[in-house]
Amino acid sequence: MRATIAGVRYLLIALFLLLLFLSGAASAQGAQGQAQETQAQRQQTQPGNNAPVWRDARSGKEGYTTVKGRETGVLIQTEGQTWRTLRNGPITFYGGWLVVLVLITLVVFYKGRGPIGLHSPLSGKMIERFSSFERMAHWTMAISFCILALSGLAMLFGKHVLLPLIGHTLFGWLATLVKNLHNFVGPVFMFSILVFVATFIRDNFPRAYDFNWLIKGGGVISGEVVPAGRFNAGEKMWFWGGVIGMGTISSVSGLVLDFPNFDQSRSLMMLANIVHVIAAILFIVWSFTHIYLGTVGMTGAYEGMRSGYVDETWAREHAQYWYDDVKAGRRELPSGASGAAAAASAPPQVQH
């Protein structure tokens, strides 16, 4: 008797599952039939607006157009959605937080460490560190870089940060302004990089003593005076990795974007944009450390690039090997003048 009841129970369960399956299949078939009917009706009323037409449009096949050029016959390029997702998604999100976190880190470091000062009193004797031409090459690159950095950040993060604050009208004017500034200042920056590299490459080749400087971190944390050449290992890393490395990547990708009339494809333009944005963000956040140490982070550094002269105590502590060579007559001062002539023309008390 129990076996009979159990058998009936299993039969009922099987019948129930079968009914569910048949019901689902019927619903799916009905939905498919309804979709086909909808597409058939749309084919009559809107012959260019149905699934088969859009699938064909998104396939990337080359169609016919009277406009001649690369990919002009392709109506929709599906890779564009991938580019938009990357650019407005992880690149903007993580890039924005990277900029913020590096700035916060520098502020915290400055509050905790303070500026890097001198271990000995100022001597009152000045020595030429940069010639007029060298300072011109540096400031041309620095100013054009700052314009590009600020305008680039405004274009990348403006709609998230500035638009809610200033509104659509003012933001529209600002976006147009920074876009044109970015496009026209870019070539100036590229040319300034070439001049800067040609001017300073001699003193930026790695030397054996640079490894000792890196191991000791330049004495930034310990406070130790670590000997260096005219430029220390950190400045040399910025020269090769930042100015030359990131500068070249940003410049080449920027040229692709700046001159779209050179018949490049849309896929190349989108790739160049992604590369340009990533390289520019890394370039900018790296520059924060250079700007920090060249201004408030190191006593006397800004005055040296502004006037071209530093106190001999500063030169002895931050560029000892270069200072010793100049004093021993093994190399000339940047302007080519003798030490006595340069000291006589040095501006008084440029250190603070």
3-state secondary structure 78-99: CHHHHHHHHHHHHHHHHHHHHH
Taking Cα atoms as reference points, which of 303, 350, 299, 310 lies closest to residue 334? 310
* Full-model pTM: 0.78
Residue 308 carries which DSSP code? Answer: S
Q: Is 191 in the same domain as 234?
A: yes
Q: Output the pLDDT for position 225.
A: 86
73 domain residue, yes or no: no
Q: What are phi and psi of 127, to 5 degrees?
A: -135, 140
244 domain residue, yes or no: yes
Q: Is 299 in the same domain as 258?
A: yes
Q: Is 206 in the same domain as 101?
A: yes
Which residue ranges of the chain lie beneath pLDDT 70? 1-51, 53-60, 63-64, 67, 69-70, 337-352
64 domain residue, yes or no: no
Contact indicator for 119, 313 with CB cutoff of 8 Å: no
Q: Is 39 in the same domain as 153?
A: no
pLDDT, tens digit, 9 for 90 and up, residues 209-226: 999 999 988 888 777 888
Task: Report residue 181 as tokens.
Answer: 């500034």
Q: Is 46 in the same domain as 85?
A: no
Quote the number of domains for the chain: 2
Q: What is residue 59's three-state secondary structure?
A: coil
Q: What is residue 160's three-state secondary structure?
A: helix
Q: Is 48 in the same domain as 106?
A: no
Domain enclosing residue 172, as ranges: 79-344
Q: Is 195 in the same domain as 50?
A: no
DSSP string covering 270-305: HHHHHHHHHHHHHHHHHHHHHHHHHTTSBTTHHHHH
